[in-house]
Amino acid sequence: MAKHKGRGWNGRLLAAALGVTTLAAVTSVWTAQADPGDAGKPQARASAPVVAAVSAEIVHASDRGERGVNLTIDDGPDPKWTPQVLQLLKDSGVKATFCMVGTQAQAYPDLVKAVVADGHRLCNHTVSHDTTMDTKSEAYQSQQILDAERMIAKASGGVHSQYYRAPGGAFTPYSRQLAASHGMRPLGWNVDSRDFERPGTDAMVTTVKNEIANGPTILFHDAGGERSQTVEALREVLPWLREQGYVFGFPVR
């Protein structure tokens, strides 16, 4: 199946092929770096927090049930557009999942912290948003996912990503297993606003209205280009969804 920012990924098929839906919890142990002046002293050892097991199947469902919708915001943070999206979400009383690129998180840590402070969730969107990741080696996939997780966690002040979204839907069985083993549920989407193409606010709104019956997870972007149309589309879409009886939640973990 071809992959691009405008097409979702069929997680059920991949999960069936893999034959794995959950992974065991992972416990890691770290060794403290000894100070040069501590020569001869025993090095401290401590157990890192246990990472809860999550499913390696790509999730689309909402934790708010049949009338739940998951708003997901990709590719940021961005110094111009992320603050506008955050303000709009705050004014609307909506929580979202922000799928962050590692280099962006590293460049704008205050925005990562602002996302967390407002009660939104973090999602790992790799270091460099390489949409051909599924053609690359496992070592490369690991570097992209794990380095991004470290960048995002550091930028956030220690908050870890709860999800992993492959750029352009370029999941592999290996990347899904790896993400799940580090507590990040692979995250897909059902409704692509196609805002990355800047088709116009009306077109984005129409797309969401027409496709929301396909499933609860909606894809928008707060970076990767000029996003004024996205902001205006969200301003129209959010109240419309509420009028239709939808409630905003987070993807099932």
Positions marked active-site: 74, 221
Write out the DSSP string of 218-239.
EEEESSSS--HHHHHHHHHHHH
Backbone angles phi and psi of 22, in degrees to 5 = -135, 155
Name 192's bridge partners: 219
Q: Look-up: residue for tokens 């908050």?
A: 159
Quote the CA–CA distance of 205 and 7 in Å, as a whole number. 17
CA atoms of 200 and 233, how far apart (whole Å): 9
* Element housing 89 (H / E): helix 81-92
Q: How far apart are the first and last CA of the chain?
A: 26
CA dihedral 57, 248, 130, 148 (to 10 degrees): -90
